[in-house]
Amino acid sequence: MSERPTILEQEHEDFRATARAFLERAVVPFHAQWEAEGIVPREVWREAGKQGLLCFDVEEQYGGPGIKDFRYNMVLAEEAARVGASGPGFAVHTDIIVPYISSLGTEEQKQRWLPGLVSGELISAIAMTEPGTGSDLQGIRTSAVDKGDHYVLNGSKTFISNGILADLVIVACRTDPDAGHQGMSLLVVERGMAGFERGRNLDKMGLHAQDTAELSFTDVHVPKTNLLGEEGSGFISLMMNLPQERISIACIAVATIESVLDMCLAYAKEREAFGKPIGKFQHNRFLLAEMATEAHIARVFVNDCVLRLNAGTVDTSLASMAKWWTTELQKRTVDAGVQLHGGYGYMSEYPISKAYTDSRIQTIYGGTTEIQKEIIGRMLGL
């Protein structure tokens, strides 16, 4: 098969070797246990920090390497997908949450939080979704009332990735209930603040090792020094950062598609039926031909998105296109992979089974497929 299209340089491949060695040593042998326990130990985060696998874009003065190149993020997604390491929520932390603090934080906030986020001592989460509000961010009800030097925060959030482990939670809330999207702000709630409580670690279809929690806020006193960005600018800040989140999800999708293609090819060559490898049957040969073609298209598309993200030219519409198309393809690909594996595909110890259940969330979080199409439709002037 022809080599996969690449936009990587030697330094990215060197980084891949580091990431692969870390995963093989510190993650793969323990992942099944973490799946059973529903959580990843904190020391894995600290070890990832030591290896330079967190927060690549954080500037050197705050303890990071200061590398603003999303190709590193993409390589880590590929290596995690290759071994089915869906437990550690590193991508959520590095690609999605920490950039809010890097881009919106005051000097004092950056000095206070970024070094710990880079080292893995501090784990982050972002709390947007509420029990009654999913992709419709303008419908959030969590409120923060200005009390002079602090806010009093009340509300609840759900489906929060890293929710159990998180030391810092960026909470989207209403600081002005009558101002529509201009009444939304971002507050950083810290572990141990009175009135901040975590509910159960949610029991999910897939991603069993990644902690996902309900969070509740009851009269939490959040100091004004924990307001992230300007009061009332929260919705705009979320809109600015969502394209990178969606391209991060697309990177995971393509990495998974390629990984599933590899495992299906290997299986089709070794598994025999009626006296020959199942890959010799025309149906399976055509299926794998289609998978390989679509994987190639998806890779070219996401490579282009990552280069545009690096250049600062990704628009909301393109990120939405990448997010919905690659994740829907991922869903189709893993489904076809299970079918190809037959009864073995339904067994949890086979990687294709885990890929199937882990993949199902991809078309839902980060804004559903339907929301992405709505965004693209509006950008088309419809």
Dihedral, 11, 14, 18, 23 alpha carbons, nearest 10? 100
> Are the C-beta atoms of residues 208 and 38 closer than 8 Å to each other?
yes
* 3-state class (DSSP) for residue 236: helix
C-alpha to C-alpha distance for 345 and 147, rounded to whole angstroms: 57
b (16+ CB within 10 A) / e for 205-233: ebbbbbbbbbbbbeebebeeebbbbebbb
> Are the C-beta atoms of residues 318 and 284 closer than 8 Å to each other?
no
C-alpha to C-alpha distance for 215 and 191, rounded to whole angstroms: 12
DSSP one-letter code for 133: B
DSSP labels, 101-112: HHHH--HHHHHH
Q: Residues 78, 130, 245, 258: which is the catalytic one?
A: 245
Tell me, yes or no, if 59 is annotated catalytic. Answer: no
Please identify every residue annotated as catalytic. Answer: 245
